[in-house]
């Protein structure tokens, strides 16, 4: 099961971009799967979608009114209406039974097919229907109060989508309008790149599963849940493996389970103090790198590739243990990896520019991702920090809607300057 162990000098740091590139190098787009259209929200089309039909299927009315022949109405004026004989009525979903001949009209509802012979629809408000007291009933005659051009209020067959037209291309991400469009073609399922199953594993003897008695000195596993939630949010399926103790057997058993997924995301056990156990276990089943990434928080990061039974290769992202570090590292690396597997663009979150309200200090030449709150006032984004930036304080992350970035080569980013900010959530105050 060993491939080889390759370990970078723990002291030599790599950049965030380097780390991301190396991760994305071994993460691959997954295969397509036929998926019910609603479940495919956020997934990527694996093939072009060609319409089997016209939408709408027939010329139909855009208004409630009367289907008419426009050339009957050339002399119509408000003070001298043209009176037409009403020969029928038609609702959405019905098919026309009578043609409109010169001097006649058919009462028509929105969405109903325009009867043969008619070329236009006159809305109720441009007729004398109300004066006739026949509202919502079919009068025997109707006065039209003005001229209408041909095709007025008529939606042409195939106006939205023509039969045989490529309406969505392979590679597009399905949003609510695309899901609706697929339904309008009569499709219940569609071929999309499947969602990755992401095994989520916490490591550490001190950890307890929420819902259990904690016991003195022990803490609840929060990383599995914050990371599991982040996995779900970016389109993956979290497979919760629970907690592995800091010993070989326990870790090995969990990792074996993890190899049934498409990628394994662990937390903790990668910092200098205690990575030895993890390293040993990981090295048995594949190759693993322990990196120091030039970032704060989340400097220690493990990344490797396991070889599962049968030779399938399963990437492993080893996040740091501190709750903020785990999430910030997941944001930078895990999210991009999952997006790549989904066939989506694998790039970091979009950044905006904002005016910094207080300095960001950078004591040791790393890129600082400071937990921050972005607000918008008079069209200008401002950003302040959420206080104490220790990486164990998960509450500092709950108060944040963004990460404000101080570049690695600046010892301080002073207040008043413009910084790049990764938006984590477009909360109300950021709009
Ligand atoms: P480690 O990387 O194992 O040294 O862990 C760093 C810090 O993160 C320690 O204080 C751990 O107790 C804490 N930690 C590790 N895993 C978790 C977890 N799953 N949930 C909450 N805290 C954790
Ligand atoms: Mg630990």
In this predicted structure, what is the pLDDT of residue 248? 86
- Residue 128 in any domain: the answer is yes
Instruction: Kindly list the protein residues whose Cβ atom lies closer than 6 A to any atom of ligand 1.
Output: 202, 204, 206-207, 219, 221-224, 267-269, 271, 273-274, 320-323
State the SS3 of 229-269.
HHHHHCCCEEEEEEEECCCHHHHHHHHHHHCCCCEEEEECC
276 and 298 together in one domain? yes
β-pairing, 13-14 vs 286-293, is: parallel
Number of separate domains in the chain: 4
Ligand index nearest the alpha carbon of residue 202: 1
Give 429 Cα–ligand 1 centroid separation in angstroms.
32
Angle at 305 (CA atoms; ends 302, 307), nearest 5 degrees: 145
314 and 179 together in one domain? no
187 and 200 together in one domain? no
Q: Give the model confidence (pLDDT) of 374-421 as tens digits.
A: 999 999 999 999 999 999 999 999 999 999 999 999 999 999 999 999
Q: Give the model confidence (pLDDT) of 246-290 as tens digits.
A: 888 999 999 999 999 999 999 998 877 665 677 777 778 888 888
Whether residue 172 has pLDDT greater than 70: yes
Whether residue 9 has pLDDT greater than 50: no
Residue that is last in its domain, among 322, 341, 360: 341
Handedness of CA 348, 352, 358, 362 (dihedral sign): positive
Please state the rounded mean pLDDT for residues 46-57: 98
Ligand index nearest the alpha carbon of residue 393: 1
Structural domain containing residue 110: 60-155
- Residue from 10, 200, 204 to probe ligand 1 pocket by mutation (most atoms less than 8 Å from CB): 204
In this predicted structure, what is the pLDDT of residue 15? 98
Least confident of 56-60, 165-169, 245-249: 245-249
Please state the rounded mean pLDDT for residues 64-83: 97
254 and 208 together in one domain? yes
pTM of the model: 0.93
Nearest CA to ligand 1 atom 15: 321
* Burial (Cβ within 10 Å: 0-12, 13-18, ≥19) of residue 254: buried
Q: Which tokens in the block code for residue 73? A: 């109405």
Atom of ligand 1 nearest to the CA of 202: 19
- Residue 37 in any domain: the answer is no
CA 181/CA 167 separation, integer angstroms: 9
Please state the rounded mean pLDDT for residues 172-188: 98
Please state the rounded mean pLDDT for residues 66-91: 97
221 and 263 together in one domain? yes
pLDDT more than 70, % of the chain: 96
Give 362 Cα–ligand 1 centroid separation in angstroms.
23
Nearest CA to ligand 1 atom 6: 321
β-pairing, 351-356 vs 418-423, is: antiparallel
Whether residue 123 has pLDDT greater than 80: yes
Q: What is the CA radius of gyration of the chain?
A: 32
- Residue 404 in any domain: the answer is yes
CATH of the domain at 104: 2.170.190.11
Residue that is last in its domain, among 314, 341, 368: 341
């Amino acid at each position: 099961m060993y491939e080889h162990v390759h370990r970078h000098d723990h002291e030599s740091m790599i950049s965030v971009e380097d780390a991301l590139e190396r991760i994305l190098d071994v993460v691959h787009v997954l295969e397509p799967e036929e998926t019910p259209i609603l479940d495919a929200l956020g997934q990527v089309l694996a093939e072009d979608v060609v319409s089997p039909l016209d939408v709408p299927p027939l010329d139909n009315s855009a208004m409630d009114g009367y289907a008419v022949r426009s050339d009957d109405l050339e002399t119509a004026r408000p003070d001298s209406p043209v009176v037409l004989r009403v020969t029928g009525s038609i609702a959405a979903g019905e098919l026309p039974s009578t043609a409109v001949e010169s001097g006649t009209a058919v009462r028509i509802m929105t969405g109903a097919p325009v009867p043969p012979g008619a070329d236009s629809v006159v809305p109720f408000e441009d007729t004398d229907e109300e004066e006739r007291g026949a509202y919502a009933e079919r009068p025997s005659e109707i006065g039209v109060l003005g001229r209408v051009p041909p095709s007025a209020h008529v939606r042409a067959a195939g106006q939205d989508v023509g039969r045989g037209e490529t309406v969505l291309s392979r590679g597009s991400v399905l949003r609510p309008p695309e899901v609706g469009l697929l339904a309008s073609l009569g499709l219940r399922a569609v071929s999309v790149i499947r969602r990755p199953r992401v095994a989520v594993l916490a490591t550490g003897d001190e950890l307890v599963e929420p819902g259990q008695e904690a016991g003195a000195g022990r803490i609840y596993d929060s990383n599995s849940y914050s990371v599991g939630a982040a996995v779900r949010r970016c389109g993956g399926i979290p497979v919760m493996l629970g907690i592995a103790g800091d010993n070989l057997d326990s870790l090995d058993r969990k990792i074996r389970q993890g190899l049934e997924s498409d990628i394994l995301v662990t937390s903790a056990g990668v910092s200098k103090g205690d990575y030895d156990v993890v390293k040993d276990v990981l090295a048995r089943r594949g190759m693993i790198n322990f990196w120091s990434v030039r970032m704060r928080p989340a400097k220690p990061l493990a990344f490797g590739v396991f070889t599962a039974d049968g030779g399938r290769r399963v990437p492993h992202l080893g996040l740091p243990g501190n709750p903020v570090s785990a999430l910030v590292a997941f944001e930078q690396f895990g999210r991009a990896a999952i997006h790549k597997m989904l066939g989506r663009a694998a790039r970091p979150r979009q950044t905006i520019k904002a005016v910094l309200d207080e300095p960001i200090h950078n004591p040791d030449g790393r890129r600082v991702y400071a937990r921050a709150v972005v607000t918008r006032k008079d069209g200008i984004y401002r950003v302040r920090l959420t206080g104490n930036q220790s990486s164990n304080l998960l509450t500092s992350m709950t108060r944040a809607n963004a990460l404000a970035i101080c570049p690695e080569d600046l010892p301080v980013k002073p207040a008043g300057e413009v910084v790049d900010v990764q938006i984590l959530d477009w909360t109300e105050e950021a709009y």
